Structure 1
Amino acid sequence: MYRSAPAVRTAAATSALLVLAVTGCDGGVHGTPGGSGLRDPYFPKAGNGGYDVTHYGLTLAYDPDGRRLTGTAVITARATKDLSAFDLDLKGLDVHSVTVEGTGARFNRAGQELTVRPHDELSEGETFSTTVRYSGTPQTLTDPDGSKEGWLPTADGALALGEPVGSMAWFPGNDHPSDKAAYDISVTVPKGLQAVSNGELKSETTTGGRTTFRWHTAEPMASYVATVAIGHYDITRTTTKNGLPVYVAVDPTQAKASSAVLARIPEIMEWEEDNFGPYPFSSTGAIVDHGQDPGYALETQNRPFFPGSPDLHTLVHELSHQWYGDSVTPRTWRDMWLNEGFATYASWLWDEDHGGDSAQQTFDALYRGDYYDDDADNQALWSFPPARPSGAAHISDSPVYERGAMVLQKIRQTVGDDTFYAIIQGWAAAHRHGNADTADFTAYVEKKAPGKDFSAIWRDWLYGSGKPAHP
């Protein structure tokens, strides 16, 4: 005899049905897709949700004549939610296979998104490894401001530069500054060429007319400051007074012009440690290519990149980014001034300590409008506030750099030198190898200078539109 169920379920029965709805009849976890994009204010498609990368293992081979890149990326990550699928950022290139924990995974492509559906769903907190095999001709990307990034072919090799979202042109990953990881990068190139990357060179081996360079970066690194430079380079290895390795790679055409300024790296590092605190990485140096594309320097971790012989101020600026930008990395691209305002201010401090204008004199020249020769440049300084760039095309404009530095000078005026240096050193220490945003910084300043009123600085100089009424 069959008896129909009662119309009203008990609480226990209802709870059991809910569990089945979430876990499925077999009791396994039913996850959801991780999501494409992290809704960055300026690059909403950058990065991906649902996981945190801890390590990239990149095995690359490049043929400069055919401009062909072959790669295997092993990405170790931790799931931050139950995942049925997750996305990786990869622009162009052909994906041949994807495995998750050694088992083949389904995948599909849509724009810059490589969506991976693992055979077994991933549980929150689970550490998993994804292997992507890919090849093709990597793309050179154009930023919203018109500059070039991604993979840039050169006369004798190539450059991989990633700010803000160019790393997805040469390896799959979570291409957003909020997700930092350790890296092992192996690059195989024709014998006679060098392949320079971040961190420390662990080995260099030549077999069958090809040389493999293996680089290791132990400290967390954002994807946009990962780099590979392939070409002919003169290599110099030295150390600072405290034994920090200095690895410098210079295109032979730039060797003579850059030798004097690059020889000052140990001096600059000593000065920056005095001002900003202990150096956060295990080596330093520089990469200097011939003076062609891309036309800008970049704070690639451990050894900044320069498109030709750098001047002294640019070298000071990019090395200071190792503290402000590479170690303390912005949480979103809206917080770019925490990189560029600090690095710009570093060059002001260098001048102040080496017989040039004081930081206040530089500030005053900017405020008066006689810092730039072109009046349009003077006006552009006040076109938007440092903490609120007017779109993705403007995150590298002068308000982010110079007006960002002016915010720091206003803080220094308010608190005095002793407290100011305690603030900028403490900020670098408090967020060492991490991420931070503008709200974190303003809160930190207020905590370190109790009793001081910063409201006008935040309102008028950091967030305010137009030129503040008083310098």
Structure 2
Amino acid sequence: MPFPPPCVRRALPALAAALLSVSCTGDAGGGGPTGADTAGDPLFPRLGNGGYDVGHYRLRLDYDVKRRRLDATAVITARATEAIRGFSLDLAGLTIRRVTVDGKEAEVQRKGSKLIVRPAAPLGKGATFRTTVDYDGRPRTLTDPDGSTEGWVPTDDGAMAVGEPAGSMTWFPGNHHPSDKAAYDIRITVPEGWTAVANGELRDERSRGGRTTFAWHSGEPMAGYLATATIGKFEVARSTTKGGLPLYVAVDPREAGRSRKPLSRIEEILDWESRLFGPYPFSSSGAIVDHEPEDVDYALEVQTKPVYPEAPDHTTVVHELAHQWFGNSVTPKRWRDMWLNEGFATYAEWLWREQHGGDPAQKTFDSLYARDEDDPLWEFPPGDPGSAKNISDDPVYERGAMVLHQLRIAVGDKTFFRILKEWPTTYRHRNADARDFIAFCEKAADEDLSELFDTWLYGEGRPEWEYEP
């Protein structure tokens, strides 16, 4: 793997107690039902919230680089999916100054990583409401079990915001589960001479009084863990592909030399992946390359602009850009289906090598299958990681790709490559799970594939099975 591992890491030890400490439904203090204070994810039982669906986040962030302090306002537009008297938001750390709902003061409680809000009046089912949260403080980082870091990560010239699986709640309140995607507008004010990069397209950049505000717009739905607000002294290159897609590439000058060649291939890689996976699902692309942020040694598939902690190689760029289809546009309903992100992005690496003079995918598969039965690759099935700490281990990445290769053998190249293109097109900007994917494949192949998936996706240990058409 180009960076260990190329995307996410493990998961949430620093928050484990908080994420397990509160019941799945709650009351905001006083009679009346509240939305669930969790999305009910088995691997992350305290992430996400119920009772509403977010349509849009408008974030205003003012960052003092020297003091590492954030002064911010989040305006969250949502629709009530049931009649509720209150609701909760995910937010780790920071100080709440004021919360209003539809312009009226709301009661607020803090319970661990939950911000429980009680509006002045109940919200009827189907009602659209706007919650405004004013907050400030020094954003925190979260430490994962392997010692890696996520959240708002300070750098020597600013900050890197990386959020998978839960780090985004360290810098803005929201429904931080991938099942609730929304559009974003993010305005970031920093000292003049610094650059602030977020998702989507830069709509405005203006300086006043020694500070510069960058206004970013992301119109396509995005899960919270894919949001970023990365600040630093960057060299910025703006261009447009031959097909008219805007590219925005921000690189720390210390990484510029080694980054030049791999990043120059972004358009080539996007063209190749678009032929395989269907039209690129977003209205812009690019990259952010920082310089060795503290404890961050992984790349992350931030929507429209993957984030790299140092100059990437081109294989890592292939992987992270493939995530724009698999994970970003088609997003898992639950974290146990992380293999739908990582298996596809890893298999994209296999296909890139196969189609660009490297090893055939079958040879890559064979070298993995040859590993001993006690190798960590066989520790758990990719479709059932069992624990949050496992979601970024080899079985999710490599065995996830092995599932896809076995599918390719079973249905043949013609049907397999049709699935590769039609799956992300059919589920564009939606959420999906393994059951959706299996049903999709069986319909495309017009055959029962349960034995294949039972063995390769859910089977324990090293599979002793060979598909015979």
The answer to whether the Cα contact below 8 Å between 1:31 and 1:123 also exists between their aligned partners in 2 is: no
Rounded Cα–Cα distance in structure 2 between residues aligned with 1:455 and 1:108 = 47
Instruction: Give the 3 Å change call, closer, same or farther, for CA 436–75 of structure 1 in structure 2.
Output: same
Corresponding position: 1:167 with 2:168: yes
Rounded Cα–Cα distance in structure 1 between residues aligned with 2:133 and 2:275 = 43
Rounded Cα–Cα distance in structure 2 between residues aligned with 1:323 and 1:138 = 30
Rounded Cα–Cα distance in structure 1 between residues aligned with 2:450 and 2:170 = 42
Match of 2:411 in 1: 415
Corresponding position: 1:454 with 2:449: yes
Secondary structure of the corresponding residue to residue 378 of structure 2: coil
Match of 2:384 in 1: 388
Corresponding position: 1:445 with 2:441: yes
2:351 to 349, 352, 355: 349
Matches within 5 A, 1:131-210: 131-210=132-211
Matches within 5 A, 1:23-102: 32-102=33-103
Match of 1:328 in 2: 330
Rounded Cα–Cα distance in structure 2 between residues aligned with 1:285 and 1:267 = 12
Matches within 5 A, 1:302-317: 302-317=304-319
TM superposition shift of 1:57: 0.2
The answer to whether the Cα contact below 8 Å between 1:103 and 1:119 also exists between their aligned partners in 2 is: yes
Match of 1:17 in 2: none
Q: For residues 319-378 of structure 1, what are the alpha-carbon distances to aligned partners after superposition, in whole Å with 9 as ceiling and x for unaligned?
A: 000000000000010010000000000000000000001111100110012xxxxx79x8
Specify the code of the residue in structure 2 equivalent to 1:438. A
Q: For residues 108-144 of structure 1, what are the alpha-carbon distances to aligned partners after superposition, in whole Å with 9 as ceiling and x for unaligned?
A: 1010000000001000000000000000010011124
The answer to whether the Cα contact below 8 Å between 1:190 and 1:209 also exists between their aligned partners in 2 is: yes
Q: For residues 194-239 of structure 1, what are the alpha-carbon distances to aligned partners after superposition, in whole Å with 9 as ceiling and x for unaligned?
A: 0001000000010000000000000000000000110000001112
The answer to whether the Cα contact below 8 Å between 1:324 and 1:428 also exists between their aligned partners in 2 is: yes
TM superposition shift of 1:281: 0.1
Rounded Cα–Cα distance in structure 2 between residues aligned with 1:123 and 1:144 = 41
Match of 1:27 in 2: none
The answer to whether the Cα contact below 8 Å between 2:154 and 2:293 also exists between their aligned partners in 1 is: no
Match of 1:283 in 2: 284
The answer to whether the Cα contact below 8 Å between 1:42 and 1:392 also exists between their aligned partners in 2 is: yes
Match of 1:22 in 2: none
Specify the code of the residue in structure 2 equivalent to 1:178. S
Rounded Cα–Cα distance in structure 2 between residues aligned with 1:49 and 1:102 = 22
Rounded Cα–Cα distance in structure 2 between residues aligned with 1:131 and 1:145 = 36
Matches within 5 A, 1:88-127: 88-127=89-128
The answer to whether the Cα contact below 8 Å between 1:145 and 1:394 also exists between their aligned partners in 2 is: no
The answer to whether the Cα contact below 8 Å between 1:239 and 1:266 also exists between their aligned partners in 2 is: no
TM superposition shift of 1:456: 2.2
Rounded Cα–Cα distance in structure 2 between residues aligned with 1:89 and 1:242 = 39
Q: For residues 398-432 of structure 1, what are the alpha-carbon distances to aligned partners after superposition, in whole Å with 9 as ceiling and x for unaligned?
A: 00000000000001001111111111111101110
Rounded Cα–Cα distance in structure 2 between residues aligned with 1:470 and 1:439 = 22
Specify the code of the residue in structure 2 equivalent to 1:455. S
Specify the code of the residue in structure 2 equivalent to 1:107. V
Aligned length: 435
1:435 to 419, 425, 431: 431
Secondary structure of the corresponding residue to residue 428 of structure 1: helix
The answer to whether the Cα contact below 8 Å between 1:144 and 1:392 also exists between their aligned partners in 2 is: no
Matches within 5 A, 1:205-354: 205-293=206-294, 294-354=296-356
The answer to whether the Cα contact below 8 Å between 1:290 and 1:308 also exists between their aligned partners in 2 is: yes
Larger RCO: Structure 1 or Structure 2 (Cα < 8 Å, ≥ 6 residues apart)? 2
Specify the code of the residue in structure 2 equivalent to 1:437. D
Q: For residues 264-302 of structure 1, what are the alpha-carbon distances to aligned partners after superposition, in whole Å with 9 as ceiling and x for unaligned?
A: 000000000011100000001100001333110000000
Unaligned runs of 5+ in 1: 1-29, 370-374
Corresponding position: 1:424 with 2:426: no
Secondary structure of the corresponding residue to residue 33 of structure 1: coil
Unaligned runs of 5+ in 2: 1-30
Rounded Cα–Cα distance in structure 1 between residues aligned with 2:322 and 2:250 = 19
Secondary structure of the corresponding residue to residue 86 of structure 2: strand
Q: For residues 9-47 of structure 1, what are the alpha-carbon distances to aligned partners after superposition, in whole Å with 9 as ceiling and x for unaligned?
A: xxxxxxxxxxxxxxxxxxxxx951002111201111000
Specify the code of the residue in structure 2 equivalent to 1:432. R
Secondary structure of the corresponding residue to residue 375 of structure 2: helix
Instruction: Report the TM-score, using the length of structure 1 for normalisation.
Output: 0.91
TM superposition shift of 1:145: 4.2
The answer to whether the Cα contact below 8 Å between 1:291 and 1:309 also exists between their aligned partners in 2 is: no
Instruction: Give the 3 Å change call, closer, same or farther, for CA 144–48 of structure 1 in structure 2.
Output: farther
Rounded Cα–Cα distance in structure 2 between residues aligned with 1:409 and 1:346 = 11
Corresponding position: 1:403 with 2:403: no
The answer to whether the Cα contact below 8 Å between 2:300 and 2:320 also exists between their aligned partners in 1 is: yes
TM superposition shift of 1:470: 3.3
Instruction: Report the TM-score, using the length of structure 2 for normalisation.
Output: 0.91
1:465 to 454, 460, 464: 460
Give the percent of matched residue pairs that are identical in Structure 1 and Structure 2: 60
TM superposition shift of 1:458: 1.1
Match of 2:6 in 1: none
Rounded Cα–Cα distance in structure 2 between residues aligned with 1:352 and 1:155 = 40
Secondary structure of the corresponding residue to residue 220 of structure 1: strand
